[in-house]
Structure 1
C-alpha cells in the first residue's frame, strides 16, 4: 500500500485535480437543486395557498431524502465504489428534479423532493470521501474547504437564477434549470469521473489490478505487478465494526451529535430566512436577496477556511467557527428589524456556518480507514440530517404559535454552541490515544490540517 503514501506525499497531478474539480461541480449542482425550493417558497406558497406548517414540511422534504441517502446509499460506496454510487445518485437526482417540474400539489412535490434529496444525500458524503482520497496530505484541509464551497455556490446560483425567472415564468422554471444541469453533469461524470484508488486497493473488485494500473499511469506512477497484501486487521474488521469499536465509537458520536447540531441551525436559516424576511418586509425580492447574501457568505467562509487551513489545524478552526456562529445567530435576532444591518450580519452568518460544515468535512475522513470511510461519513451526515429535518418543521409550528423571528434565531444559537463543545471533546479524545485511521497511514491519509 506504499503507493498511496507516495502519491499523497507528492504534489497533486492534473488527473487528481480533475477528479476534485468534477466533484466540486457535482456538489455545486447539489446545492442548486436543494436551495431552489427555498427560493420558490414565497411564489409557491401564494399559488397553492400553503400554511406555514405545510410549507415547513415541504421545505424539509429534501432534507429527509438527504438523510436517507446518506444513511442507506452512501455506505454502498464502500462496497460498489465511489464512482458507481455517484452515477447512481445523479440518476436519482435527475428523476426527482424532472418530476418536480410536473408536480400538481404539495403532496406530489413533497414526494419528488424526497427523491431528489435521496440522490443528493448519497452523493455528498461519497464525494467528500473521493475528494479526500485524491488530495495530497499537504493540501487536504484546503481542498476540502474549497470543495465545501460548492454547495453554497450552487445555492447562491439558485438565488441568482430564481430572482429573474420566477416573477416571469413561475416557480417551475428553477426546477427545469436544475434538471437540465443535473442531466448534463451525469453525462460528464459518466465519461470523466475516476474511481478511488483507496477503494480499488482495499475492496479489490473484479479487475482491480488493471484499473489501479490505469489510474497510476495517469498519475505518472509505475504499474504494479500484483496488488499489495492487506493488513490482517483490515481484512477482518467490517466498516460498521470499525465505526463502533473503541475508541472510534466516542469520536463517531461526537461527530454525529456535533454535525447534527450544526446542520439543524444551518438548514433553519437556509430554508426559512427568505420566507421570514419576505413576510416581515412584504417584499419577496428582499427575502431572496438576504438568502443570496447568506449563501454568498457561505462561499466566502469556505475559502477563508481553506486559506487558514494552510497554516492552522482544522479542528481548532472548526471550534472557532462554531462558537462565533452561535454569537452571530444571537446578533441577527437582535438586529433583525434593521434591514441594512441584518444584511451585513446575514453575510457573517453564512460565512461562519458554512465554514463549520467545511471543518466537519475536513476533520471526519481522518477518523476512519478507507474500508469504513464512506460509511462513517455517510452516517455522520445522514444521522445529523435526521435531526436537522426537525428544524424547518419546528419553525413552522413556532411561527404558527406566534413566535417572533428574533426569538427563533436566539433558539438556534444553542445547538451551535453544543456543536463546538462536541469538537472540543473530539480533540481531547484524539490527544489521549492515536485514532485507528492514523495507525494505518497506508489506508488512511493524514493531514497537518486536520
Structure 2
C-alpha cells in the first residue's frame, strides 16, 4: 500500500488523475469523427461514406468489449489495475493508428484503442465517486466528467487546424503524450477501499480510508474471503430480484444516449461539409458541440447535489431534442451555432450526469460493474450510431434528416429514463450489501 503511506493525503490528485485520463479518453473518441472529412475520399484510404460508418461502428465494438471486460473484472481485480491498463492500451493504440499503412491496420488499431477506452470511464467514475464527499459528490464527478468533452474539444480544435494541410495522422499521434501519465498513475493512484474490504483486506481498506480522510465504518460489512464472494458475481447481482427492471431500464437509457452522442460526433463535421461549409468550419461545429457538453456537465453537476441527477438527465435529453429539431429547419449560421451548442449542452452533458446517477444507484461493491455493464450495453447504441448516421447522411437533405433522426433518439432516452426509479429499493440488494448501503446513507 505504498500509495497510501502518509496520513492526511489530499484526495485532489485522485480527481486530477482521473480527469486528465478522461481528457485523453474524450480526445481518442473524438479523433475519428474530427478526421472523417479528410478520410472520406482522401489519401491514403479513400473511404466511402458507407465504409466510414462501418469502420466507426466496428471500432466501437472494441469499446463494447472493453466496457464489458472492465465491468466484469474491475470488482474482482481492482479499479486501479484496470484503470492503468486501460490508459496504457488506448494510448499505444492511438500511436499505432497514426502509423497505420493500410486501412485494415487502421481499423485494427482503432479497435485496440477503443477497447482500452471502454474500460476507463466506468473505472474512473467509480474511483472518483468513492473518494468524493457525499455532500459534494455530484460536483466532484461533474468536474471529473468534464474530461471527455474537454478532450473532444481538444481533438476538434487540433483537427480543425492541421487536417486540411497535414492529414489525419498528427491528430492521432498527439494522443501518445498521455503515456507520460502512466508512471504517475502507478505512483499516486490509490486502490478503492471498498474493493480492498471486499477481498478481505480490511487493514489496507482502513489505511486508505484514514489516509484520505474517508470515514471508517464502525461495523464493516462482512468481507469476502477472496475475489469470488460467497454471494456470487457482481454482474449477476445486477440482474437479480428487484434490481432486474431498473438495471434493464438504465441499460436502455445508456443505449439511446450513446447512440445519439456517437452518431452526432461521428457525422456532424461531414454533415456540415455537405451543407456547404469548408473543412475547417465543419470541424468547428464539432468543437461547439463539445463546448456545450462541458458547460452542460458543469451546470447539471452543480444542480444535481440539490435536485438529484435523474430530473437533470431527463431535462437534458429534452433540451437536446428541441435544439436538434430546430437545427432541422436549417437556420442561419449564427443561430445554427447556438443550437449545436445547446444540443451538446443537453445531449452529451446529460450522458455525464447519467454516469453520476448510475454511480449513486448501485452500492460501492457493485458500482464499477454497474457502470461498466451499463456503458457496455450502451456501447451497442454507440455502435449503431455511426452506421445509422451513415444511412441518414446519404439522403438528399443530410442536415435536416440527421438532426431529426437524433432528436428522436434523444426523446426515447428521456422516456426510458423517466421510468427508472430515483434509487433502488432497500430490499433490492443482497444481504452482503446491506451494511454497505447503510454506510453510504450514513455518510
Give TM-score scaled by structure 2 length.
0.89
Partner residue of 2:108? Answer: 111
Question: For residue 15 of structure 1, what is the aligned residue in structure 2?
Answer: 10
The answer as to whether partners of 1:96 and 1:113 remain within 8 angstroms in 2 is yes
Partner of residue 187, structure 1: 183
1:96 to 93, 96, 103: 93
Distance 1:285 1:441, change over 3 A: farther
1:253 positional shift: 0.4
Separation in structure 1 between the aligned mates of residue 410 and residue 324 of structure 2, nearest angstrom: 9
Residues 83 and 269 (structure 1), Cα distance of their counterparts in 2 relative to 1, 3 Å cut: same
**Structure 1 residues 56 and 444, CA gap change in structure 2 (3 angstroms):** farther
CA–CA separation in structure 1 for the residues paired with 2:32 and 2:300: 27
Asked if 2 retains the 8 angstrom alpha-carbon contact of 1:366 and 1:445, the reply is no
Number of the residue aligned with 2:4? none
Query: Equivalent residue for 2:195?
Result: 199
* Cα distance in structure 2, aligned partners of 1:143 and 1:178: 25
The structure-2 alpha-carbon separation of the partners of 1:433 and 1:424, relative to structure 1 and needing over 3 Å to count, comes to: farther
Residue aligning to 2:151:
154
Q: Does 1:384 pair with 2:378?
A: yes
Structure 1: stretches of 5+ with no match in the other structure: 1-12
| Cα distance, 1:200–1:282 mapped onto 2, change above 3 Å | same
Q: CA deviation at 1:186?
A: 1.5
Identify the residue that residue 74 of structure 2 maps to in structure 1.
77
Residues 238 and 372 in structure 1, CA contact (< 8 A), matched pair in contact too: no
CA contact (8 A) 2:364 2:436 kept: no
Judged with a 3 Å threshold, the aligned counterparts in structure 2 of structure 1 residues 35 and 431 are, in CA distance, closer, same or farther, namely closer
Name 2:51's counterpart in structure 1: 54
2:409 is aligned with 1:425? no
Q: Distance in 2 between matches of 1:447 and 1:311?
A: 16
Given candidates 204, 210, 215, the residue that maps to 2:208 is: 215
Alignment match, 1:342: 336
Distance 2:439 2:329 in 1: 44
1:437–1:443 Cα contact (<8 Å) kept: no
Say whether the 8 Å CA contact 2:11–2:212 is kept in structure 1. Answer: yes
CA distance in 2 between partners of 1:437 and 1:364 (Å): 18
Deviation digits for residues 146-180 of structure 1 (CA, Å, limit 9, x no counterpart)? 22211000000112222223334331111111112
Q: Which residue of 2 aligns with 1:137?
A: 134
Tell me the distance in 2 between the aligned counterparts of 1:200 and 1:152.
Answer: 32
How many residues of Structure 1 are paired with residues of Structure 2 in the alignment? 429
> Equivalents in 2 of 1:190, 1:444: separation in Å?
32
Q: Which residue of 2 aligns with 1:357?
A: 351
2:3 maps to none
- Which residue matches 2:121? 124
Report how far residue 72 of structure 1 moved: 1.7
Alpha-carbon distance, 1:108 to partner: 1.6
Runs of 5+ consecutive residues of structure 2 not aligned to the other structure: 1-7
C-alpha separation in 1, matches of 2:343 and 2:436 = 39
Q: Separation in 2 of the partners of 1:316 and 1:433?
A: 21
Distance 1:167 1:400, change over 3 A: closer
Shift in Å at residue 14 of structure 1?
5.3
CA distance in structure 1 between the partners assigned to 2:377 and 2:414 by the alignment: 18
> What is the match of residue 328 of structure 2?
333
Cα gap change, 1:127/1:223 in structure 2, threshold over 3 Å: closer, same or farther? Answer: closer
1:134 Cα deviation from its structure 2 partner: 0.9
Distance change in 2, residues 1:171/1:404 (3 Å): closer
Task: Confirm or deny that 1:283 pairs with 2:278.
Answer: yes
Number of the residue aligned with 2:405: 411
Task: Give the C-alpha shift of residue 235 in structure 1.
Answer: 4.3
Cα distance, 1:227–1:313 mapped onto 2, change above 3 Å: closer
CA distance in 1 between counterparts of 2:386 and 2:345 reads 21
Correspondence list, 1:209-288, <5 A: 209=202, 211-220=204-213, 229-230=222-223, 235-288=230-283
Structure 1 stretches of 4+ with a deviation exceeding 6 A read 221-228
How far did 1:250 drift? Answer: 0.4
1:276–1:155 distance in 2 versus 1, CA, 3 Å = same
TM-score (norm 1): 0.88
Q: Provide the C-alpha distance between the structure 1 equivalents of 2:134 and 2:269, rounded to a whole number of angstroms.
A: 39
Distance 1:136 1:432 in 2: 23
- C-alpha separation in 1, matches of 2:287 and 2:354: 23
Superposed CA offset, 1:265-311 (max 9, x none): 11111110011102221400111110001001110010011111232
* Deviation (angstroms), 1:427: 2.3
